[in-house]
Amino acid sequence: MLIVQKYGGTSMGDCERIQNVANRVAQAKKQNHSLVVVVSAMSGKTDELIGYTKSFGTLPNTREVDMVLSSGERITSALLAIALEAMGFKAISLSGRMAGILTDSVHTKARIQSIDTQYIKSLLEQDYIVVVAGFQGVDQKGAVTTLGRGGSDLSAVAIAGALQADLCEIYTDVDGVYTTDPRIEKNAKKIQKISYDEMLELASMGAKVLLNRSVELAKKWNIPLVTRSSFSLEEGTIILNEEDIMEQAIVSGIALDKNQARVSMVDVVDRPGIAAEIFGELAQANINIDMIVQTIGRDGKTDLDFTIPQSEVEEAKMALKRFENEVGLIEFDCEIAKVSIVGVGMKSHSGVASRAFKTLANENINIMMISTSEIKVSMIIDIKYAELAVRALHRAYELDK
Ligand code: ADP
Ligand code: ASP
Ligand code: MG
């Protein structure tokens, strides 16, 4: 089999752990599999590197930020190759560029455009274990790019897709996908099988065990995806098509995202085209908008609330400057959290959303914004109630049973 394995930051946390990863990779190699191993930087490394780039009193040029950030994964990929060679295996590390990963030029959140697998394939034919630095690629001009936080998952799935691998295994510090973050709710249960669509919603709503864009790609290319722990031999969670799951729970999981910010634009001049201009300007700045709520207009004015990633607040402030004359007040609130319930069963059951609202009401938690999709209900609440809300909802849908 051709297997792509990905090891996350905790799994690659220090040299002892890298040795543990090398042992696991060796196990798979001894079973005669062809192996591509994608790695993250040591846990905490990317945050540390981001910190350095902020030391000079100005918003840094994102091209330079990417040069700095991509170094974390280069270190771990080479260390793993060294460990494997020390054990007598043929192993070689590749940067994103060497692995043929071509992206657009949106630094710090680049999108993969294509992967030229020629070099990886020739190395596999020569029986190398190919270790690829995750989270990075290169643009048309040859500048190093990074794929956004958690991007090594995407590197792994994209490489698995391009190579038409038989399996993509994501090794992390939990032994699969749980009904909610096991660090928040100790009674969370491991899910054996989950559909791409539910996993995509959970990941998009904050369950960082998998990056949403990696799930999207796995679904598109039908890549068999498994998440499991690099620290145990437990079977993990299989992510697959909805049709391949026999029994569906109404609600499969609860996700929490504490990295969102709410933008409130009060007394916006209510004229045709204003929303197009505001969101056009934000799109131009590559800012990801999530929930949007516009209130009914009065006296020619309206209120517009929406959420963006906290990391994009400074860019959003700059982008919205030109609307100052048409808006009474623009406020940014980072003290919010988004709690979401996800489940394909919602399509066919009523009363699922109302139970969520009642549960939060019972805990005296005020809901500031709501948005829904066919298989999800998301609520914005005060960040100080985030964990309380997750636990209460987990109980309300009997996910601990
Ligand atoms: P890695 O560094 O291996 O990519 P991450 O920290 O990105 O690992 O993701 C793993 C973490 O995701 C877990 O430690 C866990 O706290 C968190 N997590 C959030 N939601 C879930 C969930 N529903 N199931 C499992 N883990 C979750
Ligand atoms: N090291 C990067 C991050 O911390 C990418 C990853 O771990 O997936 O976001
Ligand atoms: Mg991750």
Mean pLDDT of 86-100: 98
pLDDT score for 361: 98
Q: Is 153 annotated as a binding residue?
A: no
Question: How many A from CA of 151 to the centre of ligand 2?
Answer: 6
Q: Is 220 annotated as a binding residue?
A: no
Backbone angles phi, psi at 91, to 5 degrees: -140, 150
Give yes or no for a contact between 303 and 268, defined as CB atoms under 8 angstroms apart.
Answer: yes
Residue 228 has pLDDT above 90, yes or no: yes
Q: Which helix (H) or strand (E) holds 160?
A: helix 152-163
Question: How many A from CA of 51 to the centre of ligand 2?
Answer: 14
What residue spans define the domains of the chain? 2-173, 255-396
- What is the fold, at CATH topology level, of the domain defined by 2-173? Carbamate kinase (3.40.1160)
Residue 247 has pLDDT above 80, yes or no: no
Degrees to nearest 5, angle at CA 46 with 194 and 83? 80
**DSSP track, 97-117:** TTTTEEE-S-TTS--EEEE--
CA nearest to 212, candidates 194, 199, 222, 229: 199
CA distances to 194, 195, 292, 338, 378 from 342, in Å: 11, 11, 19, 13, 9
Mean pLDDT of 175-180: 97
Distance CA 259, CA 285 (A): 19
pLDDT score for 348: 85
Q: Is 103 annotated as a binding residue?
A: no
pLDDT score for 293: 92
Give yes or no for a contact between 117 and 163, defined as CB atoms under 8 angstroms apart.
Answer: yes
Closest Cα to atom 21 of ligand 1: 181
- The secondary structure of residue 261, as a DSSP letter, is E
Question: How many A from CA of 177 to the centre of ligand 2?
Answer: 18
Amino acid found at 327: V
Burial class (CB in 10 A: 0-12, 13-18, 19+), 175: buried
pLDDT score for 140: 97
Residue 246 has pLDDT above 80, yes or no: no
Distance CA 253, CA 208 (A): 13
**Which residues have beta carbons under 5 A from ligand 3 (an ion)?**
150
Residue 217 has pLDDT above 80, yes or no: yes
Distance CA 55, CA 60 (A): 9
- For residue 7, the ligand 1 atom closest to its alpha carbon is 3
Give yes or no for a contact between 372 and 378, defined as CB atoms under 8 angstroms apart.
Answer: yes
pLDDT score for 134: 98
Candidates 39, 172, 185: which one to mutate for ligand 1, based on the most atoms within 8 Å of Cβ?
Answer: 172
CB atoms within 10 A of CB 137: 31
Q: Is 7 annotated as a binding residue?
A: yes
CA 139 to chain centre: 21
Q: Is 52 annotated as a binding residue?
A: no
Closest Cα to atom 5 of ligand 2: 150
Q: Which residues form ligand 1's pocket by a CB distance below 6 Å? A: 8-11, 40, 150, 172-174, 177-178, 180-183, 207-209, 253
| Tens digits of residue pLDDT in 291-323 | 999 989 889 999 999 999 999 999 999 999 999
**DSSP track, 116-158:** --HHHHHHHHTTPEEEEE-SEEE-TTS-EEE--TTTHHHHHHH
Question: How many A from CA of 159 to the centre of ligand 1?
Answer: 21
Which CATH number applies to 255-396: 3.30.2130.10, 2.60.40.420, 3.40.50.2000, 3.30.70.2740?
A: 3.30.2130.10
Question: How many A from CA of 207 to the centre of ligand 3?
Answer: 10
Distance CA 377, CA 356 (A): 8
Report pTM: 0.93
pLDDT score for 59: 84
CB atoms within 10 A of CB 378: 25
Q: Which residues form ligand 2's pocket by a CB distance below 6 Å? A: 8-9, 40-41, 46, 72, 134-135, 149-153
CA nearest to 239, candidates 255, 252, 258: 252
